[in-house]
Amino acid sequence: MTTVRIAIVGLGRLGRRHAANLQQTHGAQLVAACSPVAEERDWAATALPGITLYQDYDAVLQDSNVDAVFLVTPTSLHAEQIIAALKAGKHVFCEKPLALNVEDCLAVEEEAARHPQLKVMIGFVRRFDASYRDAADKLAAGSVGRPYLLRSQTCDRNDESGFFVRFSASSGGIFMDCSIHDIDLARWLLGNPQPKRVWATGTNALHPALAEHQDVDNGVAMCEFEGGQLACFYASRTQAHGHETLTEIFATEGRLTVGANPRANRVEISDAHGVRNECVQDFYQRFAEAFVTEAQVFVDTIRENRPSPVTLADAREATRIGLAITQAFRSGEAVSL
């Protein structure tokens, strides 16, 4: 049980938060950081003193002081970067989604199969959130019976800067970028059922420029699974009140809801506006603790040589369903899987 030496790759907003978390992770040491962007490396030089900085990903892989890479890079790079890391003998953590096509997922799975001693974990962070885990435990214990319908949504506060509009070309669209989390939750909480058929539609409420990339700022989808279970997804970029990740699991003896009313904290205000609470403003505020747990679990997985709790097959299935939903959205027709 030695210390896991980690290189973080990608130092954008989320990458920086992962880096900070890794510095606090028990059994881990952040030893290197990599970014092709000079400004990001400058940040690291100050904020992460004492670590090696790389401009080039290949150089990271050649660093024998690095046991694992932590990829917070554009989705289009994930597959090749994971494969290269595995070939270099590194464990891999990679942000979601694994890839924007199933072929890339399969290529990664194939390479991973050649390195059974290396761990690969995909960052479906909600699996590490205390509330989602409590819901999963209650389902596993049968406390609400057998689940038959899951509804899940990822709703972001409207970002007037339109960051995600520019990002739309490479994100794979709202279903691949946002709903992928909800798709993974559906599989996890419904017991990994086989998807059968999907439908989707959407609308642009505030950001018509998304239409250029066949994308929308609000999308809804339905999914049938073998065995009769259902899932409904909603993704939005245009909420006024904050970030609302909400999941409802309807089961034969009850319903579990995770995240309704995304309270910022335990303060309630009673004034001329009524009785109210302020809300979490972004996914990071909502899942800050889960990101810390996720990093810890990744490190523990390596140190204790346990199976990765989020497998490449999970990630491939999420991509496969997300792509089918995107196709259904674009065609207006049901898509069978």
Query: Which residues lie near its own copies (CB under 8 A)?
Result: 24, 26, 130-131, 134-135, 138, 144-146, 148-149, 151, 197, 199, 201-206, 218, 220, 222, 224, 228-230, 232, 234, 236, 238-242, 244, 250, 252-279, 332-334
DSSP code, position 145: -
- Residue 140 Cβ, how far from its own copies at the closest point, in Å? 14
- Residue 321 Cβ, how far from its own copies at the closest point, in Å? 15
Q: Which is nearer to its own copies, 97 or 195 (CB)?
A: 195
Q: Which is nearer to its own copies, 40 or 129 (CB)?
A: 129
How far is Cα 121 from Cα 294, in angstroms, rounded to an integer? Answer: 10
- Residue 41 Cβ, how far from its own copies at the closest point, in Å? 24
Q: Which is nearer to its own copies, 38 or 267 (CB)?
A: 267
Are 127 and 308 within 8 A, CB to CB? no
- Residue 318 Cβ, how far from its own copies at the closest point, in Å? 20
Cα 24 to chain centroid distance, Å, stands at 21
- Residue 148 Cβ, how far from its own copies at the closest point, in Å? 4
Q: Which is nearer to its own copies, 111 or 224 (CB)?
A: 224
Q: Which is nearer to its own copies, 205 or 209 (CB)?
A: 205
Are 154 and 181 within 8 A, CB to CB? yes
Task: Find the largest Cα–Cα distance for the chain.
Answer: 64
Are 266 and 277 within 8 A, CB to CB? no
How far is Cα 183 from Cα 199, in angstroms, rounded to an integer? Answer: 13
Are 96 and 188 within 8 A, CB to CB? no
Are 71 and 82 within 8 A, CB to CB? yes
Are 264 and 82 within 8 A, CB to CB? no
Rg (alpha carbons) of the chain, rounded to whole number: 20
Q: Which is nearer to its own copies, 65 or 336 (CB)?
A: 336
User: How far is the first Cα of the chain from the last one, in angstroms, to the nearest whole number?
Assistant: 43
68: three-class secondary structure by DSSP: strand
- Residue 320 Cβ, how far from its own copies at the closest point, in Å? 19
Does residue 307 have a cis peptide bond before it, meaning omega lies within 30 degrees of 0? no
- Residue 77 Cβ, how far from its own copies at the closest point, in Å? 33
336: three-class secondary structure by DSSP: strand
Q: Which is nearer to its own copies, 4 or 135 (CB)?
A: 135
- Residue 43 Cβ, how far from its own copies at the closest point, in Å? 19
Query: Per residue in 257-266, is it b (16+ CB within 10 Å) or e — as a string?
Result: ebbeebeeee
Q: Which is nearer to its own copies, 116 or 332 (CB)?
A: 332
Distant-in-sequence, close-in-space partners of 198: CB < 8 Å, separation ≥ 6: 221, 222, 223, 224, 321, 324, 325, 328, 334, 335, 337
